[in-house]
Amino acid sequence: MICRMCNNAIEPERLEILPTTVACSACAKKHKLGAPRKAFMAFDHKTGGEIQIVSAQFYEDNKKYFIPNGARSAVKNFSKSVCA
């Protein structure tokens, strides 16, 4: 597929993630196309987590489910070091 702005080929990786895109990544960054996105890890089981990418609005509306709430929370905060 060809970028509508610069007429260069759109990267195959970009097309795999965004099949309906009409711009290459360089043009998308340059012209600030697309809505801001957020991502979080979701686990169906004990292993095999996957990254889910959602709109910034969806994340803000549901962030109470993505933020740890106490020591026994199913959501873990890995940004803090637990080893001293």
pLDDT tens per residue, range 26-64: 998 888 776 677 887 777 776 777 888 888 888 888 888
Mean pLDDT of the chain: 79
Other CB atoms within 10 Å distance of the CB of residue 51: 8
The verdict on pTM exceeding 0.85 is no
Q: What is the 3-state secondary structure (H, E, C) of 38-57?
A: EEEEECCCCCCCEEEEEEHH
Q: Which two tokens stand for residue 45?
A: 């089981």
Token representation of residue 18: 């965004």
φ, ψ (nearest 5 deg) of residue 72: -100, 15
The domain segmentation of the chain, as residue ranges, is: 1-33, 35-76
- Cβ–Cβ under 8 Å, residues 14 and 24: yes
